[in-house]
A = this chain, B = another copy of it.
């Protein structure tokens, strides 16, 4: 089986600023939409769409409680991936500093 598309879909879901902000915010645990969209500074509507997308992709849990709907990270691996991306970013930035100083 070729898993390329499935794996790309997961990584693509993480590679978008608004979704990444949501994921950062969900690190501390489950949150409802009404907490998420003010925290990340996006419209309720837009936030809802991104949350739905990430549930479809399989990286978020959804739980209903009364009127509120709570979302949470479904896999610890998601945080690890984001942390590794941060490491790469840091290396790139310091690497460029080194180049700038040398020039």
Among candidates B7, B12, B14, B92, residue contacting A82 with C-beta atoms closer than 8 Å = B7
Residues of B within 8 A of A8 (CB): 14-17, 19-20
Q: Do residues A15 and B10 form an inter-chain contact, with CB atoms below 8 A? A: yes
Q: Do residues B7 and A89 form an inter-chain contact, with CB atoms below 8 A? A: yes
Q: Which residues of A contact B (CB under 8 A)?
A: 3-17, 19-21, 24, 58-59, 75, 77-78, 80-82, 84-89, 91-92
- 13 extra interface residue pairs, beta carbon distance < 8 Å, beyond A75-B87, A80-B84: A4-B17, A4-B24, A6-B89, A7-B20, A7-B85, A7-B89, A10-B85, A10-B88, A10-B89, A12-B12, A12-B15, A15-B15, A58-B88
Q: Is the interface of A mostly helix, strand, loop or mixed?
A: helix
Assess A81 versus B75: contact at CB under 8 Å? Given A15-B13, A16-B8: no
| Residue from A17, A75, A85, A91 whose CB has the most chain B CB atoms within 10 Å | A85
Q: Do residues B58 and A75 form an inter-chain contact, with CB atoms below 8 A? A: no
